[in-house]
Amino acid sequence: MPDGNFRLPRFSSRCLPVWQRNAQVWIKLSGPSLVGNFGEPLFYLLALGYGLGSFIGEVDGLPYIVFLATGIVCSSAMNTATFECLYSAYTRMKVQETWAAMMAAPLNLDDIVLGEVLWAGTKSLISATAILLVASLLGLVHGWQAVGVLPVAFLLGCCFGAMALVVTAISPSYDFFLYYFTLVITPMFLLSGVFFPLDSVPEMVQVGVQLLPLYHIVEVVRPLMTGRPLEGVFGHLLVPLLYGLAAIWLALGLLRRRLLI
Amino acid sequence: MPDFVVNARNLRKIYAGEVVVDDIQLNIRRGECFGLLGPNGAGKTTTLRMLLGLTPPDGGELNVLGFEIPRQARQMHARMGLVPQGDNLDPDFSVAQNLRTYARYFGIPRSELDQRLPQLLAFASLEHKADAGISTLSGGMKRRLTMARALVNDPELVVLDEPTTGLDPQARQLIWQRLRELLAQGKSLILTTHYMDEAQRLCDRLAIMDNGHILVEESPAELICQHIEPQVIEVFGPGVEQWGVDCGRNLAQRLEQVGETLFCYAEDEQPVLASLHQFPQLQFIHRRANLEDVFLKLTGKELRDA
């Protein structure tokens, strides 16, 4: 029997109230959230950038703290979106039943999934804005073309938000998320060129990392922040875009199977 | 305007090879309060979820408010309100913000909702709590707010899944009063409940389900009249079994032992009461037959743990 749950998503502007609801909750609780958005990257940059950087010197022709700042914009945005669509989305689905309340109104799962994904993109955008501000105050950003990082961070957030929703859709509990963090997010975080250039790892690993979205985002964000020429932007952005679209389709199918029974 | 808010024909649902809703027919009239009763595992929740378009049926035809379900569930939801079993209010928002946020899900403009907000708060008796957080509300207040939330779109049909479960008697009275107001406004109600007094009090008609079937569909008065003797005497105390064998079974039309209580169902209570007065060690309660007696007769008295 063909599974009708995996039919293509049907998107509309009905996703906006879902996004708006999440945004309003965030505004209410934005104090601790913003401290995290500014504080964590700041301490990373100070400790690793200056501390470790004084031993390392230059990496890839850049002072280590600059190299690191360009990577941390990406990894923080990834973590923000991932957390949002794992723990927070799971809470809205299972604990608070926010989604059930929405589905009794004229909203369906298609709207909810798209709203959540756009919200994850927005949270990544907020995170990237905070780090760009910190980095530019520390004098680590080269020129106004760095603003181009913001739409890229939004795309990154949507991509990782959608991927996290796939995990949420099949998760029996919060504990299950550790698998995804340990087996997917952490290796990507460590190997995608955030802390050191990709060419310092074995070729097999390089090929694997290039199949994953974070590396390609870093490859676009680094030249945007350092004023270097952009190369192969289209190809690099295509990877997270495809991951994001495929993950939206898969997450929606799995959620329909889980919730519309 | 159609006469029915729900038309279900041969509605069926199968989970893992087991038929949980078995070709049921359901016609719910506009403007009535319709009750869906049944023990745990009878198929009520599945039926309700199918009516709401949240569970796709495995067979049959279903029409709610003139819309084909589940295909046109979105259009139907715009004209329906749901009060779910667990309160799923937004805990991070105040009372008024909950109503505003929910109205946005329906695409209701803010100005329009602001006009209706005092009315909705009054319905929930929460006028003085508009800015209060959800965690500061009592169970009854939360349930009333959930009911007000279901009315943001001024629905034609309101569906309530066990609206008074877990509430204290005062809170239940207020909910019943509010449900009557909705009926007086011409809205149609569908409710599930485990409280037979609630169903008897509120419902114009009700269906009792068990094992995926609708056993009966009638007004409460008709059900009592058709399915059960009018007088009930509950007898308990030492020697109740012996009294039943010696006297009770000759005097009442029907006897049923549940736990330590013997239920005597009779057309005429006088001979039974006269006999009981000769057995001072036995205690008894005489009352008129009610919906609970019908429910227990039709669905059996064993415990359902499903």
Calculate how close chain A gets to B297, using CA atoms only, in Å.
32
**Which residues, in sequence order, are bridge partners of residue B218?**
B206
| pLDDT at residue A1 greater than cutoff 90 | no
Q: Quote the tokens at residue B206.
A: 């009700």
Q: Which residue of B has its CA nearest to A110?
A: B74
Cβ distance of A21 and B97 shorter than 8 Å: no
Buried b (16+ CB within 10 A) or exposed e, B176-190: eebbeebbeeebbbb
Q: B72 CB near a chain A CB, below 8 Å?
A: no
* A43 falls within a domain: yes
* A96 falls within a domain: yes
- Give the strand order in the sheet containing B254-258: B254-258, B261-266, B231-236, B283-288
Q: Which of B75, B97, B105 sits opposite A105 (nearest CB)?
A: B105
pLDDT of A66 reads 95
Q: Which of A30, A88, A98, A258 to mutate to test the interface with B (most CBs of B within 10 A)?
A: A98
Cβ distance A251 to A103 under 8 Å? no
Contacts of residue A38, Cβ cutoff 8 Å, sequence gap at least 6? A130, A133, A134
Cβ distance of A17 and B101 shorter than 8 Å: yes
Calculate how close chain A gets to B150, using CA atoms only, in Å.
9
Calculate how close chain A gets to B61, using CA atoms only, in Å.
17
Q: How many domains does chain A have?
A: 1
B56-81 pLDDT, tens digit per residue, is 999 999 999 999 999 999 999 999 99
Contacts of residue B204, Cβ cutoff 8 Å, sequence gap at least 6? B29, B32, B33, B34, B219
Between helix A64-83 and helix A149-170 the angle, nearest 10°, is 40
- Give the strand order in the sheet containing B4-15: B18-29, B4-15, B59-64, B67-68
| pLDDT at residue B306 greater than cutoff 50 | no
| pLDDT at residue B2 greater than cutoff 70 | no
Cβ distance of A106 and B84 shorter than 8 Å: no
Q: Which residue of A has its CA nearest to B108?
A: A17
Higher pLDDT, B51 or A40: B51
Cβ distance of B106 and A261 shorter than 8 Å: no
C-alpha pair distances (Å), B42 with each of B15, B212, B227: 13, 6, 20
Cβ distance of B75 and A106 shorter than 8 Å: yes
Buried b (16+ CB within 10 A) or exposed e, B7-33: bbeebbbeeeeebbbbebebebebebb
Query: Looking at beta carbons, which residues of chain B come within 8 Å of A100?
Result: 84, 88
Q: Which of A21, A107, A260 sits opposite B54 (nearest CB)?
A: A260
Cβ distance B11 to B23 under 8 Å? yes
Which residue in this structure is represented by tokens 């945005």?
A77
Q: Which residue of A has its CA nearest to B101?
A: A21
* A159 falls within a domain: yes
Query: Looking at beta carbons, which residues of chain A come within 8 Å of B107?
Result: 14, 17, 106
Confidence class for position B49, pLDDT limits 50, 70, 90 = very high
- Cβ neighbours, 10 Å, residue A144: 8
Q: B106 CB near a chain A CB, below 8 Å?
A: yes
Q: Which of A24, A103, A107 sits opposite B54 (nearest CB)?
A: A103
Calculate how close chain B gets to A29, using CA atoms only, in Å.
9
Buried b (16+ CB within 10 A) or exposed e, B208-236: bbbebbbbbbbebeebbeebbbebbbebe
* A33 falls within a domain: yes
- What does DSSP assign to residue B136? G
Q: A34, exposed or middle or buried, with CB in 10 Å at 0-12, 13-18, 19+?
A: middle
Cβ distance A103 to A109 under 8 Å? yes
Q: B280, exposed or middle or buried, with CB in 10 Å at 0-12, 13-18, 19+?
A: exposed
Cβ distance of B74 and A106 shorter than 8 Å: yes
Cβ distance of A261 and B55 shorter than 8 Å: yes
Name the average pLDDT for chain B: 93
C-alpha pair distances (Å), B215 with each of A177, B211, B253: 46, 9, 23
Q: Express as a percent the part of chain B with pLDDT over 90.
A: 90
Buried b (16+ CB within 10 A) or exposed e, B80-105: bbbbbeebbbbebbbbbbbbbbbbbb
A203-233 pLDDT, tens digit per residue, is 999 999 999 999 999 999 999 999 999 999 9
**Which residues, in sequence order, are bridge partners of residue B9?**
B61
Query: Looking at beta carbons, which residues of chain B come within 8 Å of A20?
Result: 101, 104
B255-283 pLDDT, tens digit per residue, is 988 888 999 999 999 999 999 999 999 99
* A5 falls within a domain: no
* A3 falls within a domain: no
Q: Which residue of B has its CA nearest to A111?
A: B105
Calculate how close chain B gets to A105, using CA atoms only, in Å.
5
C-alpha pair distances (Å), B274 with each of B154, B234, B240, B269, B283: 56, 14, 15, 9, 13
pLDDT of B302 reads 66
Name the average pLDDT for chain A: 94
Cβ distance A116 to A20 under 8 Å? no
Region A187-194: mean pLDDT is: 94
Query: Looking at beta carbons, which residues of chain A come within 8 Å of B105?
Result: 17, 102, 105-107
Cβ distance B135 to B91 under 8 Å? yes
Q: Express as a percent the part of chain A with pLDDT over 90.
A: 86
Cβ distance of A28 and B55 shorter than 8 Å: no
Buried b (16+ CB within 10 A) or exposed e, A230-260: eeeeeebbebbeebbeebbbbbbbbbbebbb
* A249 falls within a domain: yes
* A190 falls within a domain: yes
Calculate how close chain A gets to B151, using CA atoms only, in Å.
11
**Which residues, in sequence order, are bridge partners of residue A250?**
none
For chain B, helix (H) and strand (E) counts, in that order, are 12, 14
Q: B50 CB near a chain A CB, below 8 Å?
A: no
Long-range contacts from A183-190, C-beta under 8 angstroms, 24+ separation? A185/A78, A185/A79, A185/A82, A188/A78, A188/A212, A188/A214, A188/A215, A189/A75, A189/A78, A189/A79, A189/A214
What are the two backbone dihedrals, phi and then psi, of residue A196, each rounded to the nearest 5 degrees?
Answer: -155, 160
Calculate how close chain A gets to B93, using CA atoms only, in Å.
7
pLDDT of B3 reads 86
Domains of chain B and CATH, by start:
4-218 (3.40.50.300), 229-288 (3.30.70)
Number of residues written out for chain B: 306
- Give the C-alpha separation, A33 to A248, whole Å: 26
- Give the C-alpha separation, B220 to B206, whole Å: 7
Q: Which of B52, B75, B104 sits opposite A104 (nearest CB)?
A: B52
C-alpha pair distances (Å), A80 with each of A35, A126, A241, A255: 13, 9, 18, 22
Q: How many CA atoms lie within 13 A of B36 on its CB side?
A: 29
Region B129-153: mean pLDDT is: 96
Calculate how close chain A gets to B176, using CA atoms only, in Å.
22
B90-104 pLDDT, tens digit per residue, is 999 999 999 999 999
- Give the C-alpha separation, A161 to B157, whole Å: 36
Cβ distance of B77 and A104 shorter than 8 Å: yes
pLDDT of B305 reads 58
Q: Which of B92, B99, B152 to mutate to test the interface with A (most CBs of A within 10 A)?
A: B92
Domain span at A67: 13-259
- DSSP of B33-79, one letter per residue? EEEEE--TTSSHHHHHHHHTTSS--SEEEEEETTEETTTTHHHHHTT
Query: Looking at beta carbons, which residues of chain A come within 8 Å of B106?
Result: 105-106
Parallel, antiparallel or unpaired: strands B157-161 and B80-83: parallel
